[in-house]
Amino acid sequence: MSKLIIVAGVSGSGKTTIGKLVAEKLSIPFKDGDDFHPQKNIDKMKSGQALNDEDRKPWLDILAKKLTEWSHEDGVVLACSALKEAYRQTLTVNDQVTWVFLEGSYELLESRMTARKNHFFKAELLKSQLNTLEKANYGIHVSIEPKPEEIVSNILDQIK
Protein backbone atom coordinates (compact mmCIF):
# COMPACT_ATOMS: atom_id res chain seq x y z
CA MET A 1 0.00 0.00 0.00
CA SER A 2 1.38 3.40 -0.91
CA LYS A 3 1.61 6.35 1.45
CA LEU A 4 -0.25 9.61 0.90
CA ILE A 5 1.00 12.23 3.33
CA ILE A 6 -0.38 15.74 3.23
CA VAL A 7 1.71 18.32 5.05
CA ALA A 8 -0.68 21.16 5.83
CA GLY A 9 -0.43 24.60 7.36
CA VAL A 10 -0.56 28.28 6.59
CA SER A 11 1.98 29.95 4.38
CA GLY A 12 5.37 30.20 6.05
CA SER A 13 4.87 27.10 8.21
CA GLY A 14 7.50 25.12 6.31
CA LYS A 15 5.27 22.79 4.29
CA THR A 16 7.72 22.59 1.39
CA THR A 17 10.86 22.21 3.49
CA ILE A 18 9.35 19.61 5.81
CA GLY A 19 7.48 17.84 3.01
CA LYS A 20 10.63 17.42 0.93
CA LEU A 21 12.55 16.04 3.90
CA VAL A 22 9.78 13.57 4.80
CA ALA A 23 9.54 12.43 1.17
CA GLU A 24 13.30 11.95 1.02
CA LYS A 25 13.29 9.85 4.21
CA LEU A 26 10.42 7.71 2.90
CA SER A 27 11.85 7.49 -0.66
CA ILE A 28 8.62 8.73 -2.23
CA PRO A 29 8.01 11.77 -4.46
CA PHE A 30 7.29 15.25 -3.12
CA LYS A 31 4.74 17.56 -4.73
CA ASP A 32 3.95 21.16 -3.85
CA GLY A 33 0.25 21.98 -4.00
CA ASP A 34 1.11 25.52 -5.11
CA ASP A 35 2.39 24.09 -8.40
CA PHE A 36 -1.15 23.03 -9.29
CA HIS A 37 -2.88 26.40 -8.81
CA PRO A 38 -4.56 27.75 -11.92
CA GLN A 39 -2.80 30.88 -13.20
CA LYS A 40 -5.74 33.10 -12.23
CA ASN A 41 -5.26 32.05 -8.57
CA ILE A 42 -1.55 32.87 -8.71
CA ASP A 43 -2.31 36.24 -10.30
CA LYS A 44 -4.89 36.99 -7.62
CA MET A 45 -2.49 36.15 -4.78
CA LYS A 46 0.34 38.13 -6.43
CA SER A 47 -1.94 41.15 -6.44
CA GLY A 48 -2.41 40.77 -2.67
CA GLN A 49 -5.94 39.34 -2.78
CA ALA A 50 -6.89 36.30 -0.73
CA LEU A 51 -8.43 33.31 -2.49
CA ASN A 52 -12.03 32.42 -1.70
CA ASP A 53 -13.71 29.01 -1.76
CA GLU A 54 -14.76 29.47 -5.38
CA ASP A 55 -11.14 30.16 -6.36
CA ARG A 56 -9.87 27.14 -4.44
CA LYS A 57 -12.42 24.59 -5.74
CA PRO A 58 -10.78 23.84 -9.13
CA TRP A 59 -7.38 23.67 -7.44
CA LEU A 60 -8.63 21.23 -4.79
CA ASP A 61 -10.34 19.11 -7.45
CA ILE A 62 -7.05 18.88 -9.37
CA LEU A 63 -5.19 17.87 -6.21
CA ALA A 64 -7.80 15.23 -5.31
CA LYS A 65 -7.51 13.72 -8.79
CA LYS A 66 -3.71 13.71 -8.52
CA LEU A 67 -3.82 12.13 -5.04
CA THR A 68 -5.98 9.32 -6.41
CA GLU A 69 -3.43 8.77 -9.20
CA TRP A 70 -0.50 8.86 -6.76
CA SER A 71 -2.26 6.33 -4.50
CA HIS A 72 -1.86 3.79 -7.31
CA GLU A 73 1.84 4.55 -7.59
CA ASP A 74 4.51 4.79 -4.88
CA GLY A 75 2.59 7.40 -2.91
CA VAL A 76 3.50 11.03 -2.36
CA VAL A 77 4.13 13.74 0.17
CA LEU A 78 2.00 16.74 -0.78
CA ALA A 79 2.48 20.21 0.69
CA CYS A 80 -0.90 21.94 0.76
CA SER A 81 -2.40 24.62 2.99
CA ALA A 82 -5.75 22.77 3.37
CA LEU A 83 -7.03 25.49 5.68
CA LYS A 84 -10.65 24.35 6.01
CA GLU A 85 -12.18 21.02 6.94
CA ALA A 86 -14.16 21.01 3.69
CA TYR A 87 -10.88 21.26 1.75
CA ARG A 88 -9.39 18.40 3.75
CA GLN A 89 -12.46 16.26 3.08
CA THR A 90 -11.98 16.85 -0.66
CA LEU A 91 -8.34 15.77 -0.39
CA THR A 92 -8.98 12.72 1.79
CA VAL A 93 -9.47 10.55 -1.28
CA ASN A 94 -9.06 7.25 0.57
CA ASP A 95 -7.90 5.73 3.84
CA GLN A 96 -4.24 5.98 2.78
CA VAL A 97 -4.11 9.72 3.56
CA THR A 98 -2.14 10.80 6.63
CA TRP A 99 -2.49 14.44 7.66
CA VAL A 100 0.43 16.35 9.17
CA PHE A 101 -0.36 19.82 10.52
CA LEU A 102 2.47 22.32 11.01
CA GLU A 103 1.69 24.88 13.70
CA GLY A 104 3.43 28.02 14.89
CA SER A 105 2.91 31.49 16.30
CA TYR A 106 1.90 34.45 14.15
CA GLU A 107 5.22 36.15 14.94
CA LEU A 108 7.29 33.17 13.77
CA LEU A 109 5.20 32.70 10.63
CA GLU A 110 5.37 36.39 9.75
CA SER A 111 9.15 36.50 10.22
CA ARG A 112 9.58 33.52 7.90
CA MET A 113 7.31 35.01 5.26
CA THR A 114 8.99 38.40 5.22
CA ALA A 115 12.35 36.65 4.82
CA ARG A 116 11.17 34.73 1.73
CA LYS A 117 12.14 36.03 -1.69
CA ASN A 118 10.47 35.40 -5.04
CA HIS A 119 7.31 33.77 -3.71
CA PHE A 120 3.92 34.80 -5.08
CA PHE A 121 2.20 34.72 -1.70
CA LYS A 122 2.45 38.06 0.04
CA ALA A 123 3.11 38.23 3.78
CA GLU A 124 0.08 40.51 4.18
CA LEU A 125 -2.17 37.54 3.37
CA LEU A 126 -1.02 35.60 6.44
CA LYS A 127 -3.75 37.12 8.64
CA SER A 128 -6.35 36.09 6.08
CA GLN A 129 -5.06 32.50 6.14
CA LEU A 130 -5.03 32.38 9.93
CA ASN A 131 -8.60 33.73 10.03
CA THR A 132 -9.64 31.05 7.52
CA LEU A 133 -7.81 28.20 9.29
CA GLU A 134 -10.06 25.58 10.86
CA LYS A 135 -7.94 23.45 13.19
CA ALA A 136 -8.32 19.71 12.82
CA ASN A 137 -8.76 17.37 15.78
CA TYR A 138 -7.10 14.44 13.96
CA GLY A 139 -3.79 13.76 12.26
CA ILE A 140 -0.29 14.58 13.42
CA HIS A 141 0.23 18.07 14.88
CA VAL A 142 3.79 19.38 15.15
CA SER A 143 5.33 22.66 16.24
CA ILE A 144 7.43 24.48 13.64
CA GLU A 145 9.75 25.89 16.30
CA PRO A 146 12.37 23.08 16.33
CA LYS A 147 14.92 22.58 13.54
CA PRO A 148 13.53 20.86 10.40
CA GLU A 149 15.39 17.60 11.10
CA GLU A 150 13.78 17.38 14.54
CA ILE A 151 10.33 18.11 13.10
CA VAL A 152 10.79 15.40 10.46
CA SER A 153 11.97 12.89 13.05
CA ASN A 154 8.89 13.65 15.15
CA ILE A 155 6.61 13.16 12.13
CA LEU A 156 8.24 9.89 11.08
CA ASP A 157 8.00 8.54 14.64
CA GLN A 158 4.26 9.22 14.60
CA ILE A 159 3.67 7.82 11.09
CA LYS A 160 5.20 4.43 11.95
pLDDT by residue (tens digit) across 113-149? 776 565 445 556 778 888 889 999 999 999 999 999 9
In the chain, where does DSSP find H-type helix?
15-26, 39-46, 53-71, 85-91, 106-115, 126-132, 148-159
What's the pLDDT at 77?
Answer: 98
Task: Report the number of distinct structural domains present in the chain.
Answer: 1
What CATH number does the domain containing 60 carry? Answer: 3.40.50.300
Distance CA 113, CA 100 (A): 20
Q: How far, CA to CA in Å, does 90 sit from each of 54, 58, 86?
A: 14, 11, 6
Question: Could you say which residues of the chain have pLDDT below 70?
Answer: 1-2, 115-124
What's the pLDDT at 1?
Answer: 46
* Domain region containing 133: 3-159
